[in-house]
């Protein structure tokens, strides 16, 4: 299946050895069953988020025959997939939306003292990233795996104002910007 990679999957990943004091949080554990001719084979699926509270966060999914093994695998996957997000004080720099499958998440910056206004899944991811003041809204499917991935999609698309200005000026080059100068007002006819 050659699907388009999500923004989170394309985002530059951190070196897992640089993560020293990360906190892990199990977002979800569910029992999954495979029905075979010999009976039902029970396994466990765990979704874990990992973050250091300083703008680094990751998400991992692990499956195993026992819950502790599934959680360990999920945390290892989250550690490998950690990304860096820009923070502006205790909140995010701008409004952002993230989508994953049928889940849609809207994240908005909030004034200091607001706290994290979010559901359990989105709250786990943004708190581990270090965001202390944020307003969120989750739309569409309430599937916890998809909501967590949609939240990471939104966080991965955050940019600082300096990065955005540099990106917008890059195709023009310094010469084109210098030549353009201030624009004259062409609305007045005289």
Tell me which residue of 128, 127, 153 sits closest to 140, measured CA to CA: 153
Q: Is the pLDDT of residue 149 over 70?
A: yes
pTM of the model: 0.80
Q: What is the model's pLDDT at position 1? A: 44
Structure tokens that stand for 80 in this block: 């490998």
Mean pLDDT for the chain overall: 87
Instruction: Kindly state the greatest CA–CA separation across the chain.
Output: 90
Q: Is the pLDDT of residue 186 over 60?
A: no
**Residue written as token pair 């952002």:** 96
Q: What is the model's pLDDT at position 168? A: 81
Residue 42 is classified by DSSP as E
Q: What's the pLDDT band for 181 if we cut at 50, 70, 90?
A: low
Q: Domain spanning 7-158 has what CATH number?
A: 3.30.230.10
Instruction: List alpha helices for 81-143, DSSP H.
Output: 120-129
- Domain residue ranges in the chain: 7-158
Vertex 6, ends 97 and 94: CA angle to 5°? 25
Is 107 in contact with 86 (CB distance < 8 Å)? no
């Amino acid at each position: 299946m050659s699907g388009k990679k999500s923004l989170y999957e394309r985002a530059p990943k951190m070196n897992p050895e640089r993560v020293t004091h990360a906190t892990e949080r199990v977002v979800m554990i569910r029992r999954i069953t495979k029905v075979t001719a010999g009976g039902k084979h029970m396994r466990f699926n765990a979704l874990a988020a990992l973050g250091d509270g300083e703008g680094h966060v990751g998400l991992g999914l692990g499956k195993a025959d026992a819950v502790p093994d599934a959680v360990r695998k999920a945390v290892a996957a989250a550690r490998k997939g950690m990304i860096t997000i820009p923070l502006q004080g205790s909140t995010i720099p701008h409004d952002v939306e993230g989508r994953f499958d049928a889940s849609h998440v809207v994240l908005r910056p909030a004034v200091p003292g607001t706290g994290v206004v979010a559901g359990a899944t989105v709250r786990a991811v943004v708190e581990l990233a270090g965001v202390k003041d944020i307003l969120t809204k989750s739309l569409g499917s309430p599937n916890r795996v998809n909501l967590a991935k949609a939240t990471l999609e939104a966080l991965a698309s955050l940019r600082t104002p300096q990065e955005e200005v540099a990106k917008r000026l890059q195709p023009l080059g310094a010469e084109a910007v210098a030549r353009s100068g201030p624009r004259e007002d062409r609305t007045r006819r005289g």
